[in-house]
Amino acid sequence: MSVVLREISPNIRSIRPPRYTALSVRAAQIREELRQGVKKPYTELIDVTWGDPQGAGLKPLTFARQVLAACLYPKLLNNERLPADVRQRAEGLLHECHGGSVGSYTDLPGIPQVARQISEFISRRDGGVPSDPDHILISPGSQWALQNILSVLVRGGGGVRSGVLTPQPSYSLSVMSVVGLGGVPVPYQLWEEQGWEVQVEELNRALESAEGECDPVALYVINPGNPSGHVQRRESIQDVIKFASEKRLFLLADEVYQDCIYKENIEFLSYKRVLAEMGPPFCDTVELASFHSASKGLLGECGFRGGYVELVNMDPAVMKHVFTIFSKDNAPTPGQIALSVMASPPQPGDPSYPLYRTEKQQMQTLIKDNVRKVHEVLNSLPGVSSHPVEGGAFAFPRIDLPPKAIQKAKDLGMEPDIFYCLRLLEDAGLFFTPGCEYGQKDGTYHVRFCIMVTKDTMDDLLTRLAAHHTQFMNDFS
């Protein structure tokens, strides 16, 4: 055995590779075959496995790119073709960068102005609930921040390991973070029949199942859901907070899709706001970490790697160690600038506001239209059912596969929904992710695909999907 292999942590070895790795390999081969002119029923592969709006062809917001451009190339500050508020924002950000350059190290744990803007954004979002910029830690993405918080909470070796209650279905990288730290994911099933609602009874069942295996220390929630697309109502959030309080669990709230709400008469409510409005004793005692990112949502600046976490009711002695961990790596300065734009966009009366408002409205209209078409088409297909996507970036329909298809998958040694996705990839050029990657109730099968794509891409995707699915069901009926 090599020296390197011998030294790899057992926790890292226990992380399983994504189940759809073979699909990724085949997708890369198909792209190359298309490039070489191999004839297929399609001329382009549509990859909707990522929540990457710009990768899917959506255009970035002009204000964000103008501010970034002026910060990266300060000579543009003298160019009056840029709106005055763009130049003013860039000047303010550069003033807080050492040497007036984005190429310098920023203060730890980030540019002070950006932390203040995030704090003000949170207070506006939450109806005036105070937010302390000193409790906001900027990071190279929300997953990086989650990993760091977990590293403080999770005990992975020597004695009883820590457990983290995680939803099923759930974003798979978050579960991998728990495993990589030596913790134990304790799955709780979201109730699909009730629109992917969180049920306290199921949380209690999950907690009881952990007895003798681990010591549960935290409860992880995703709102809006990924991949479920569900948005939690106030009563549901209150129930979860009461459960966390009773069981003395640290709450981890992944809220990166909070500005992506599509269903009428539904609003996003943060865990922090609901916690504050519940009053004592909950608002003073329940420990909470809330995560957000400039990568997700309508801003969609995935490549800049900017995120943050806000800490609520954390013990100051523990927070000291959290700050130490976060000081190891600053978020890239362009990512912090993207966070500044997300937290403090143009306001009415600003020169950039009319264009910003138009671009944002156009994007919201596009995605809502995509959501409507996805719901209509999916629920018209035999054996497919899908709840309306209320928020987030993905559709997660359930597919009742015929017994012959399930048996064929077993004969090939693969999960049935992986087999379905492989056929979809080969025959229709659609790269979806199988539901087994996110956890799903035994005996059910799902696929996940991103809805934040252009109109032409969505129309093409749904046409291909409908034709392929009908043929697939006929082949295996």
Q: Write the DSSP assignment of 155-199 as a string of letters.
A: --SSSSPEEEEEEES--HHHHHHHHHTT-EEEEEE-BGGGTSB--
Query: Hunting for tokens 């790269």 — which residue is that?
Result: 431
331 burial (CB, 10 Å; 0-12 / 13-18 / 19+) is buried
At 27, the pLDDT band (50, 70, 90 cuts) reads very high
Hey, which CATH number is domain 105-343, 3.90.1300.10, 1.10.3720.10, 3.40.640.10, 3.20.20.370? 3.40.640.10
Q: Which of 47-56, 151-160, 224-233 has the highest mean pLDDT?
A: 224-233
3 has pLDDT over 60:
no
17 has pLDDT over 70:
no
Contact 176, 183 (CB under 8 A): no
Q: Give the domain 3-58+357-475 fold.
A: Aspartate Aminotransferase, domain 1 (3.90.1150)
380 has pLDDT over 80:
yes
pLDDT digits (tens, 9 = 90+) for 360-377: 999 999 999 999 999 999
Alpha helices in 189-270 (DSSP H): 200-209, 234-247
Q: What is the pLDDT of residue 110?
A: 82
Q: How far apart are CA 418 and CA 420, in angstroms?
A: 5
Q: What is the pTM of this model?
A: 0.93
pLDDT digits (tens, 9 = 90+) for 148-198: 999 999 987 667 899 999 999 998 888 888 888 889 999 999 999 999 999
Long-range CB pairs of 113-118 (<8 Å, 24+ gap) are 113/340, 114/138, 114/336, 114/337, 114/339, 114/340, 114/343, 115/308, 117/339, 117/340, 117/343, 117/344, 118/308, 118/310, 118/339, 118/343
In this prediction, residues 444-463 reach a mean pLDDT of: 97
Q: What are phi and psi of 186, to 5 degrees?
A: -115, 100
The mean pLDDT of the chain is: 93
pLDDT digits (tens, 9 = 90+) for 77-126: 999 999 999 999 999 999 999 999 999 988 877 888 999 999 999 999 99
Classify 220 as helix, strand or coil.
Answer: strand
Q: Computed over its alpha carbons, how large is the radius of gyration of the chain?
A: 23
CA atoms within 13 A on the CB side of 282: 21
470 has pLDDT over 70:
yes
Q: How far apart are CA 198 and CA 343, in angstroms?
A: 29
Query: Hunting for tokens 């408002």 — which residue is that?
Result: 357
Q: How far apart are CA 329 and CA 119, in angstroms?
A: 21
- Look up the CATH number of domain 68-104: 1.10.287
Question: CA 163, 166, 172: angle at the middle one, nearest 5?
Answer: 115
- Determine the length of the chain: 477
Per-position DSSP letters for 387-439, written without gaps between them: ----BSSEE--EE---HHHHHHHHHTTS-HHHHHHHHHHHHH-EE-EEGGGT-
In the chain, what are the domain boundaries? 3-58+357-475, 68-104, 105-343
Q: What is the pLDDT of residue 8?
A: 55
Which strands, in side-by-side order, build the sheet including 136-139?
Answer: 136-139, 307-312, 288-293, 250-254, 215-222, 162-168, 184-189
pLDDT digits (tens, 9 = 90+) for 122-141: 999 999 999 999 999 999 98
Q: Point out which residues pair with 253 in neighbouring strands.
A: 221, 290
Task: State the CB neighbour count (10 A cutoff) for residue 169.
Answer: 27
Query: Hunting for tokens 């969609």 — which residue is that?
Result: 300
Q: Which residues of 398-422 are buried (b: 16+ CB within 10 A; e: fewer)?
A: bbebbeebbebbeeeebbbbbbbbb
Q: Which two three-digit tokens encode residue 24?
A: 């990724």
395 has pLDDT over 80:
yes
306 has pLDDT over 60:
yes
At 357, the pLDDT band (50, 70, 90 cuts) reads very high
Give whole-number Cα distances, 458 to 48, 169, 373, 450, 472, in Å: 10, 24, 9, 10, 20
Crossing angle for the helix pair 234-247 and 271-278, to the nearest 10 degrees: 70
Q: What is the pLDDT of residue 13?
A: 56
Percentage of the chain beyond pLDDT 70 is 96
Q: Which two three-digit tokens encode residue 430?
A: 């659609």
Contact 67, 356 (CB under 8 A): no
At 421, the pLDDT band (50, 70, 90 cuts) reads very high
Going by their DSSP bridges, the two strands 215-222 and 184-189 should be labelled as unpaired
Query: Hunting for tokens 């976490």 — which residue is that?
Result: 309
Give whole-number Cα distances, 34 to 27, 47, 428, in Å: 11, 14, 13
At 7, the pLDDT band (50, 70, 90 cuts) reads low
Element (H, E) at 221: strand 215-222
